[in-house]
Chain A
């Protein structure tokens, strides 16, 4: 077990390290002068040179990379050009909204997908199964941002039940939750389509096993067989997809926050791009990539608890 965890942790650290190089390289090595990007084409050579000096762009690349990583490890991502405050402050200020959205989206996705997947598997080749399959096929094809627009059209423009966008802040929790209903729904409906299909297919695979037939022959209640014997054994592929979905959900929040004008990290990243605020974009891209890698790492570790046989194989 210790060796298994050690290998996974080593893999995780290497991945984070290489990703940090890629992010740094993409922002600093690609053709283009960051100083020119920030100041624009009209900037004088003096202004450009002094900004290059201020940003440390005249230093060797390796030194700049080590400086960036060293500071990032201490929670210092530099100062935002457009907000003139430390990037870490901006992140801390906006993180709660993005995290709430991602977590509520994930919980709703799991509940809805398990329900749909189990119903479809229990009604295999009958109308319930077809219904779930058609809904999930549609869910996979519908872009989350279009679904969001449709939800706004229905619930905000037509019915006027929910606000079309914006966030009133956590000072008024009821209003805050109300403004997160549609974004959560948009994330959930799209993500649960994929998970429902995987749950169904994994459940069907397990339902063909001998021990399920034996349980049926022993006269166990079919609901008990479904939820207690089949679902737990069908969890491995489902957990893999949940890990990947969490990653998709986190990046999905970037899009959703922009559709609903929510002041989270996703909105911040786009503000930073239009303000040519490179330190903020760099920190946020690294943060989102790190979240994706951490989600995959947790899934890897979770495997060994769900199916101890996997530890021996790796």
Chain B
């Protein structure tokens, strides 16, 4: 089978982002938080590949650690939101009736709260922090995964092998776990990949607004917020973090599209 181009490009970009993020756990060209005022706004050189910022900190090192931060937030938030949403979707499809109605109406309600509004509420009551940003991003993922898993699970419940399992006396719980969940993993993984892209954008926006990563933790969004105040002095500082966000978002977006093309070829070229 020939793999779709978007899948291949997506894999390449994500491989690059993940490699940088993992590498930053062990090695960065410089200590990302090391101040060196005498070297402030240094231009790109062999010593500092993309130069330094207003406090003389190495830009590449900050971008690398920020990549790790973004990937971590996206992974945790999408995992939490995806797991809760999928469980709710499975319960809704297995039980049906009022329980299904209530779960799906609650899921609809979740759409009334964009991540930003939720993060604002948490920041106002608990104070701004990266954990609250993760909670906000996880929260918006719950209704998305509940819808996807319930929709896919409902189809699986119509299959003959599920009818056979029912006839054999299996409970709804074991059928959901043994037969339904494994068969709805494909659309859930596709959705998760797409939601990674959304989560990276959301984390960047929240950190930019001061509701996510707090100093001295580097984040692409926070680096942009700092760079904005220095636009007349060092405009290039506002370019690099944005490019990193785009690479990560496009990578996960293409990977999600590619996976969808592979798992459901009917949708190919029609998105």
Partner of A285, one of B120, B197, B228, B245: B120
Partner of B124, one of A22, A281, A293: A281
| Interface check B80, CB cutoff 8 A | no
| Interface check B44, CB cutoff 8 A | no
Is the beta-carbon distance between B124 and A27 smaller than 8 angstroms? yes
Closest to A197 in B: B271
Is the beta-carbon distance between A254 and B116 smaller than 8 angstroms? yes
Complex interface bits, A11-48 against B, C-beta within 8 A gives 1, otherwise 0: 00011001100110011101110100100000000000
CA distance A32 to B208 in the complex (A): 25
| Interface check A167, CB cutoff 8 A | no
CA distance A23 to B117 in the complex (A): 10
Is the beta-carbon distance between B116 and A251 smaller than 8 angstroms? yes
Q: Which chain A positions have C-beta within 8 A of B253? A: 137, 140-141
Q: Which chain A positions have C-beta within 8 A of B238? A: 146, 149-150, 153
Closest to A269 in B: B120
Closest to A259 in B: B228
Chain B interface extent, by class? 35 or more
Q: Which chain A positions have C-beta within 8 A of B232? A: 157
| Interface check B99, CB cutoff 8 A | no
The distance from the CB of A234 to the nearest CB of chain B, in whole angstroms, is: 13
CA distance A204 to B232 in the complex (A): 46
The distance from the CB of A33 to the nearest CB of chain B, in whole angstroms, is: 10
| Interface check A292, CB cutoff 8 A | yes
CA distance A251 to B118 in the complex (A): 11
> How many residues does chain A have at the interface if contact means C-beta atoms less than 8 Å apart?
54
Q: Which chain B positions have C-beta within 8 A of A288? A: 117
Partner of A289, one of B117, B125, B201, B249: B117
CA distance A31 to B132 in the complex (A): 13
The distance from the CB of B214 to the nearest CB of chain A, in whole angstroms, is: 13
The distance from the CB of A199 to the nearest CB of chain B, in whole angstroms, is: 12
The distance from the CB of B94 to the nearest CB of chain A, in whole angstroms, is: 24
Is the beta-carbon distance between B125 and A37 smaller than 8 angstroms? yes
Partner of B112, one of A137, A254, A269, A293: A293
Is the beta-carbon distance between A272 and B116 smaller than 8 angstroms? no
Partner of B250, one of A23, A141, A251: A141
Closest to A29 in B: B125
CA distance A150 to B239 in the complex (A): 8
Is the beta-carbon distance between A143 and B120 smaller than 8 angstroms? no
* Given the contacts A37-B125, A146-B245, A281 and B120 also touching, CB distance less than 8 Å: yes
Closest to A154 in B: B235
Is the beta-carbon distance between A204 and B120 smaller than 8 angstroms? no
Q: Which chain B positions have C-beta within 8 A of A98? A: none
The distance from the CB of A215 to the nearest CB of chain B, in whole angstroms, is: 21
Q: Which chain B positions have C-beta within 8 A of A65? A: none
| Interface check B108, CB cutoff 8 A | yes
Name the residue in B113, B114, B125, B232 with the highest tally of chain A Cβ atoms < 10 Å from its Cβ: B125
Name the residue in B117, B208, B249 with the highest tally of chain A Cβ atoms < 10 Å from its Cβ: B117
The distance from the CB of A165 to the nearest CB of chain B, in whole angstroms, is: 10
Complex interface bits, B87-99 against A, C-beta within 8 A gives 1, otherwise 0: 0000000000000
Is the beta-carbon distance between B125 and A27 smaller than 8 angstroms? yes
The distance from the CB of B190 to the nearest CB of chain A, in whole angstroms, is: 16
Partner of A26, one of B125, B205, B221, B245: B125
Q: Give 10 closest A-B pairs by Cβ, nearest first.
A: A146-B242, A141-B249, A281-B124, A26-B121, A251-B114, A141-B250, A30-B125, A141-B246, A149-B238, A293-B112
Interface of B with A (CB < 8 Å)? 105, 108-109, 111-114, 116-117, 120-128, 197, 201, 204-205, 208-210, 221, 224, 227-228, 231-232, 235, 238-239, 241-242, 245-246, 249-250, 253-254, 270-271
17 A-B pairs with CB atoms under 8 Å apart are A19-B112, A30-B122, A34-B125, A37-B125, A138-B246, A140-B253, A141-B253, A142-B242, A143-B242, A144-B205, A146-B204, A146-B245, A153-B231, A157-B231, A251-B114, A273-B120, A273-B128
Sample of 20 more A-B contacts, CB < 8 Å, known A149-B227, A205-B270, A289-B113: A26-B122, A30-B126, A137-B250, A137-B254, A141-B197, A141-B201, A143-B208, A145-B205, A145-B221, A149-B228, A153-B238, A157-B232, A164-B231, A197-B271, A247-B114, A255-B209, A258-B209, A273-B124, A278-B125, A281-B124
